C-alpha cells in the first residue's frame, strides 16, 4: 500500500475522530496516499468479521472510501496469537493492509496490555509483528505504529529494530514518548536517526501543523513519508500544501481562508450516509472538528457556534461569524 519508490502522505488514525465519514472527507482532495483506520482492540477474544465490517465499513468496498482513498486496518493488543487471528479475520473481511498500534498513549489501553505499553517490551513487539506477518499472505503488508519509547526517546532504536525483524514492511514513528503524551517538545531528529539505519521505510509523525513545520520535519528526519492527523483538521488546506511539496500533485494549493461551511457540510453529508449517525451525533462531530480547529488552528468562531442546539442553527451562526470576520 505504501509506494516505496515515491513520497507518501498518510491520514493518521485518531480514535473517535478519523472514522469512515471523516476518512471520506479527508480523501476528497486527493492529497492523501492512504488512511489508517482507528484501532480495533483485540483483547480476550478475537473480533468476528461483522465487527471489522462495522468498524471499517470501507472493507465492503475494496477497503477504499467512496472517493477511492485506500484504508489500512489497524489492530491493537498484546497477545500475539489473538492478534494474528484478528489479522486473518480482517483480511478475510477485505483488509488489504494491517497496521499494528504500539503507540496509543491512553491510560485505559495501556493498563490492559495494549498500545504504547508494549514499548517497554521490545521482544514482544517482534513477536506480535512476526505472528501477524506469518498469518497473512505475503501480498498483505504489515506495518507498525510506534512512539519513541515509554519514557526514553532512545528506546526507539531497539523497538524499530524489533518491528523490522518481525517483518514490518514500514514503521510509523510519533516523535514523542508515551510519558510525554502530546506535550512539547517533539523530537523529529530521533526519527531521522532511525531512518538512517533502517532497512525499511520510516514514516514521520507528530506536530506537523503548518507547511513550515512540514519542511522542518522533512529536514530533520530526511523522510519521504509523512503522517498527519490533527494538523489536517486544524487546517484543511495543509494536506494539499504538503502533497504539492512532495510532488504528489501538480495542482497549486489553495492557501486562502478555509471555507468552513463547505468543509463541514462534506462531513454532514458523509455521516448521513450511515444510518447509525443521529442528528445529535452529527452535530457533536461538527462541533468536535471546529473545536480542534480553534484549539490547534486559526479558526476564531468557535464561541459563536459551540452552544448551537441543531445543525441549522450551527450553520447560521457559522455563516454569520464568517461574514463578520471578512468585514
Q: What are phi and psi of 279, to 5 degrees?
A: -60, -40
What DSSP character marks residue 184?
S
Percent of the chain with pLDDT over 90: 89
Across 179-207, average pLDDT: 96
Q: Which helix (H) or strand (E) holds 10?
A: strand 8-11
- pLDDT tens, residue by residue, 37-78: 999 999 999 999 999 999 999 999 999 999 999 999 999 999
Any residues with CB less than 8 A from the CB of 261 and at least 6 apart, and which? 315, 318, 319, 322
Residue 3 has pLDDT above 90, yes or no: no
Question: What's the grid cell of residue 287?
Answer: 462541533
Instruction: Note if 63 is an active site residue.
Output: no
Residues 18-27 have a mean pLDDT of 97
Give the orientation angle of helix 279-296 with respect to helix 260-272, to 10 degrees: 140
Maximum alpha-carbon separation in the chain: 61
Which residue, 128, 42, 51, 54, is CA-closest to 86? 42
d(CA 205, CA 228): 6
**Spatial separation of the C-alpha atoms in residues 247 and 146, rounded to whole Å:** 26
Cβ atoms of 268 and 280 within 8 Å: the answer is: no
| CA proximity to 162, closest of 122, 103, 130, 202 | 122
| pLDDT for res 5 | 80
On average, the pLDDT of the chain sits at 94
pLDDT at 327: 43
Grouping H, G, I as helix, E, B as strand and the rest as coil, residue 246 is helix
CATH of 8-246, one of 3.40.50.300, 3.20.20.70, 3.40.1790.10, 3.40.50.2000: 3.20.20.70
Give the cell for residue 268.
454532514
pLDDT digits (tens, 9 = 90+) for 101-152: 999 999 989 998 899 999 999 999 999 999 999 999 999 999 999 999 999 9
Spell out the domain ranges in the chain.
8-246, 260-326
Which is the catalytic residue, given 104, 217, 223, 284? 104
pLDDT tens-place string over residues 232-269: 999 999 999 999 999 999 988 877 778 999 999 999 99
pLDDT at 323: 65
Q: Which whole number is the average pLDDT over 181-195?
A: 96
Residue 325 pLDDT class (50, 70, 90 cuts):
low
Between helix 211-221 and helix 188-197 the angle, nearest 10°, is: 40
Amino acid at each position: 500500500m505504501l509506494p516505496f519508490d515515491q513520497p507518501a502522505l498518510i491520514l493518521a488514525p485518531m480514535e473517535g475522530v478519523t472514522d469512515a465519514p471523516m476518512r471520506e472527507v479527508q480523501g476528497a482532495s486527493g492529497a492523501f496516499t492512504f488512511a489508517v483506520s482507528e484501532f480495533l482492540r483485540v483483547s480476550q477474544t478475537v473480533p468476528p468479521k461483522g465487527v471489522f465490517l462495522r468498524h471499517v465499513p470501507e472493507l465492503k468496498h475494496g477497503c477504499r472510501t467512496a472517493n477511492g482513498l485506500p484504508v489500512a486496518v489497524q489492530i491493537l493488543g498484546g497477545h500475539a496469537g489473538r492478534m494474528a487471528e484478528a489479522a486473518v479475520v480482517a483480511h478475510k473481511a477485505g483488509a488489504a493492509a494491517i497496521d499494528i498500534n504500539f503507540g496509543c498513549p491512553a491510560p485505559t489501553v495501556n493498563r490492559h496490555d495494549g498500545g504504547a505499553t508494549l514499548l517497554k517490551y521490545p521482544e514482544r513487539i517482534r513477536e506480535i509483528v512476526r505472528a501477524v506477518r506469518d498469518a497473512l499472505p505475503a501480498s498483505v503488508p504489515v506495518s507498525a505504529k510506534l512512539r519513541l519509547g515509554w519514557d526514553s526517546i532512545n528506546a526507539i532504536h531497539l523497538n524499530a529494530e524489533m518491528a523490522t525483524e518481525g517483518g514490518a514492511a514500514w514503521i510509523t514513528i510519533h516523535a514523542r514518548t508515551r510519558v510525554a503524551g502530546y506535550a512539547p517538545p517533539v523530537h523529529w531528529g530521533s526519527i531521522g536517526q532511525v531512518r538512517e539505519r533502517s532497512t525499511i521505510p520510516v514514516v514521520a509523525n507528530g506536530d506537523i501543523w503548518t507547511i513550515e513545520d512540514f519542511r522542518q520535519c522533512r529536514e530533520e528526519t530526511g523522510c519521504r513519508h509523512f503522517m498527519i492527523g490533527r494538523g489536517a483538521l486544524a487546517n484543511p488546506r495543509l494536506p494539499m500544501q504538503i502533497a504539492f511539496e512532495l510532488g504528489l500533485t501538480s495542482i497549486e494549493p489553495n492557501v486562502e481562508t478555509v471555507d468552513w461551511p463547505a468543509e463541514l457540510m462534506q462531513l454532514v453529508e458523509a455521516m448521513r450516509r450511515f444510518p447509525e449517525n443521529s442528528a445529535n451525533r452529527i452535530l457533536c462531530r461538527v462541533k468536535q472538528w471546529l473545536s480542534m480547529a480553534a484549539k490547534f488552528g486559526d479558526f476564531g468562531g468557535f464561541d459563536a457556534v459551540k452552544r448551537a442546539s441543531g445543525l441549522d442553527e450551527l450553520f447560521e451562526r457559522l455563516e454569520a461569524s464568517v461574514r463578520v470576520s471578512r468585514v
